[in-house]
């Protein structure tokens, strides 16, 4: 489900308002940066500027907005996410000659590990100091989790998707997504506890 503001901009776009499209895409820029921070490995980041991937995705979205408006297969944010990940796949193939689909991978970047660490810690001053150290431990603990646990943790904590968006993306019921997320957080906490890390 799109927000009321997004729906209003989509109506204006359908009426031919090009500024509405620019505004709608601009509102998603921070989200797309977080998405790429969570999904781009450092080696790829050295070769490909995330801003270029975002720009290409927005260009493709601009060209295909009429198709989106006709079909509305998902929320606008998730549709734009898909377009951005498609551009990222192209960048990976070009620079690393990989042909795996990115939605089935959960690369554990430093940014995604830190986002999850931020979720596990409160905002106490001591917690801020511990975040960097915990990020490495979270990364190590995440490697012991299943692919589905890692994916839902990254979607919720690094990409900041809502439970509804995660459910839609994974094609599951929102209650199931919520339970799956809760179990993943519990398993991650258990792994961290076994490593001697308390949150």
Q: Tell me: the pLDDT tens digits for 105-164? A: 445 666 666 566 666 655 555 555 555 567 778 888 989 999 999 999 999 998 989 999
**Are 110 and 172 within one domain?**
yes
Q: Which of 90-104, 107-121, 158-172 has the highest mean pLDDT?
A: 158-172
Contact 109/41 with Cβ under 8 angstroms? yes
pLDDT of residue 179 exceeding 60: yes
Q: Using the 3D structure, point to which of 82, 103, 124 is the last residue of a domain.
A: 103
Can you give the pTM of this predicted structure? 0.71
Contact 79/16 with Cβ under 8 angstroms? no
Confidence (pLDDT) at 99: 39
Tokens 């209650």 locate to: 175
Question: Residue 134 has which token pair?
Answer: 């915990």
Question: Residue 162 has which token pair?
Answer: 């809502």
Mean pLDDT score, 87-92: 91
Q: Is the dihedral of CA 71, 159, 189, 100 positive or negative?
A: positive
**Are 17 and 95 within one domain?**
yes
Considering only CA atoms, give the Rg of the chain. Answer: 18
**Are 80 and 167 within one domain?**
no
Calpha distance 117→87 (Å, rounded)? 28
**Are 79 and 26 within one domain?**
yes
**Are 99 and 129 within one domain?**
no
Mean pLDDT score, 4-11: 95
Mean pLDDT score, 78-86: 96
**Are 171 and 186 within one domain?**
yes
Tokens 């991978």 locate to: 105
**Are 52 and 139 within one domain?**
no
**Are 140 and 95 within one domain?**
no
Tokens 């709608």 locate to: 24
Q: Which residues of 148-182 are buried (b: 16+ CB within 10 A; e: fewer)?
A: ebbbbbbbbbbbebebebbbbbbeeeeeebbebbe
Q: Look at residue 187 and tell me if it is in a domain.
A: yes
Mean pLDDT score, 77-101: 82
- Among 34-43, 70-79, 94-103, 182-191, name the one with the lowest average pLDDT: 94-103
Structurally, the chain folds into a number of domains equal to 2
Q: Look at residue 144 and tell me if it is in a domain.
A: yes
**Are 84 and 114 within one domain?**
no
Calpha distance 185→100 (Å, rounded)? 27
What residues have CB less than 8 Å from 171, skipping those under 6 apart?
none
What phi, psi does 155 have (nearest 5°)?
-60, -45
pLDDT of residue 39 exceeding 70: yes
Q: Residue 33: name the closest of 123, 132, 138, 109 by CA.
A: 109
Q: Look at residue 199 and tell me if it is in a domain.
A: no
* More confident position, 61 or 94: 61
Question: Residue 76 has which token pair?
Answer: 């606008």
Q: Using the 3D structure, point to which of 103, 119, 145 is the last residue of a domain.
A: 103
**Are 76 and 117 within one domain?**
no
Q: Which domain holds residue 160?
A: 106-194
Q: Look at residue 189 and tell me if it is in a domain.
A: yes
Residue 198, SS3? coil
Burial of 73 from C-beta contacts in 10 A (0-12 / 13-18 / 19+): exposed
**Are 142 and 56 within one domain?**
no
Q: Look at residue 161 and tell me if it is in a domain.
A: yes
**Are 21 and 88 within one domain?**
yes
Q: Look at residue 176 and tell me if it is in a domain.
A: yes
Q: Using the 3D structure, point to which of 103, 129, 154 is the last residue of a domain.
A: 103
* More confident position, 105 or 196: 196
């Amino acid at each position: 489900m799109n927000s009321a503001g997004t729906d209003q901009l989509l109506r204006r776009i359908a009426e031919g308002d090009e500024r509405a499209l620019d505004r709608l895409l601009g509102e998603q820029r921070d989200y797309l940066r977080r998405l790429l921070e969570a999904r781009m490995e450092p080696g790829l980041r050295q070769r490909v500027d995330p801003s270029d991937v975002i720009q290409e995705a927005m260009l493709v979205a601009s060209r295909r907005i009429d198709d989106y408006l006709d079909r509305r297969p998902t929320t606008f944010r998730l549709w734009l996410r898909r377009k951005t990940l498609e551009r990222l796949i192209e960048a990976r193939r070009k620079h690393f000659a990989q042909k795996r689909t990115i939605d089935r991978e959960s690369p554990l970047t430093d940014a995604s590990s830190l986002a999850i660490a931020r979720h596990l810690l409160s905002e106490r001053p001591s917690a801020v100091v511990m975040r960097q150290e915990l990020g490495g431990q979270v990364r190590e603990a995440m490697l012991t989790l299943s692919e589905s646990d890692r994916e839902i943790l990254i979607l919720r904590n690094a990409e900041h998707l809502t439970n509804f968006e995660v459910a839609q993306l994974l094609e599951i019921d929102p209650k199931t997504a919520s339970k799956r997320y809760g179990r993943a957080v519990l398993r991650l906490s258990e792994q961290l506890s076994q490593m001697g890390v308390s949150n």
